Amino acid sequence: MFARIAGVGSYLPGSPISNTDLIQRGVDTDNDWIVSRTGIKSRHLADAGCTSSELAYEASCRALESAGVKASEIDLIIVATSTPDFIFPSTACLLQSKLGNQGAMAFDVQAVCAGFIYALNLADKLIRSGSHKKALVVGADVFSKILDWDDRATCVLFGDGAGAVVVEASETPGILSAAAHADGSYNGILSVPGSVCGGKVTGDPFLRMDGQAVFKLAVRVLSEVAKECCEIAGVAPAEIDWLVPHQANIRIIESTAKKMGLGMDKVVVTVDRHGNTSAASIPLAFDLAVRDGRIARGQKVLLEGVGGGFTWGAVLLEF
């Protein structure tokens, strides 16, 4: 038994917010500085009160329609998010309710920007075990909720959105290999070091990042895990039709592609339009490339992500 992606979908809230728009809103930054260092030109920001489950619902409906699958047929729901609606119940259970599904196994995965890779890896294993047949795997985040808009080094980098895929059991290979890792000793270079206790926020409730440290680690582990997935599947990097990386920074994306020996003509890039949407960035980019015709059935696609924790992973699939 194998697992294959049967449908894709994504959702972005509101209209694009350009770098100039942020400056006009009072963010102390510069458009040339943002573009030259990150490649980001715009992002989407959810309205106040908009939740991850709402974004996840919109993306899920599109993925279910793409797969030709009814919500009632889904027996596994995994949502990757760092911005859940509540402490509990899980965003996956809230999404399940919105979809009108009953009885499916539903839970959240918290691996920050690598969350979708972790979730897809889990869905693959559960389907291959025979315990589940049709899974809905979602990455959804509203990072605008945890940004310090006075910290120009971080607030310009992120956006909100959701992406989803339907994964189903198949007699022919779809997901060829997967690998995921973590190293908690790097927990301090990218974190939201706050919590809730006694009804009050303790610590710092905003995202904090050591950009240089993150860059160095990300380039190294992404190239390593990409090669690991290729070796597991017996696929040479040159055989990959498309690389769909986590959309954090264009320089990280370019450096990773170079280490793999791939030209940028084989890389799906959306960071310029979406910014870093955390767990949503990979499925958002994947959906865009499928819908505009770049990614076609039968092609080999490598998905990879890295996030706070520090977490990282990759999935190699034949679409």
13 and 81 fall within a common domain = yes
Domain stop point among 171, 204, 228: 171
Q: Are residues 167 and 185 in the same domain?
A: no
CATH number of domain containing 250: 3.40.47.10
Of 128, 150, 171, which residue constitutes the final position of a domain?
A: 171
**What residues are labeled active site?**
113, 246, 276
Phi, psi of 181 (to 5 degrees): -145, 170
Burial of 228 (C-beta count, 10 Å sphere; 0-12/13-18/19+): middle
Residue numbers of the domain that contains 187: 176-318
pLDDT in tens, 258-290: 999 999 999 999 999 999 999 999 999 999 999
Considering the domain architecture, whether residues 242 and 206 belong to the same structural domain is answered as yes
Please tell me whether residues 163 and 119 are part of one structural domain.
yes
In terms of Cα–Cα distance, which of 179, 177, 175, 154 is closest to 308? 154
Question: pLDDT digits over 149-173, tens only?
Answer: 999 999 999 999 999 999 999 999 9
Are both 102 and 11 inside the same structural domain?
yes
CA 311-314-318 angle, to 5 degrees, is 160
Q: Looking at the whole model, is its pTM more than 0.75?
A: yes
Task: Please give the tally of structural domains in the chain.
Answer: 2
141 band by pLDDT with thresholds 50, 70 and 90: very high
**Are 27 and 165 members of one domain?**
yes
Encode pLDDT of 180-191 as tens digits: 999 999 999 999
Query: Maximum distance among all alpha carbons in the chain?
Result: 55
257 and 194 share a domain?
A: yes
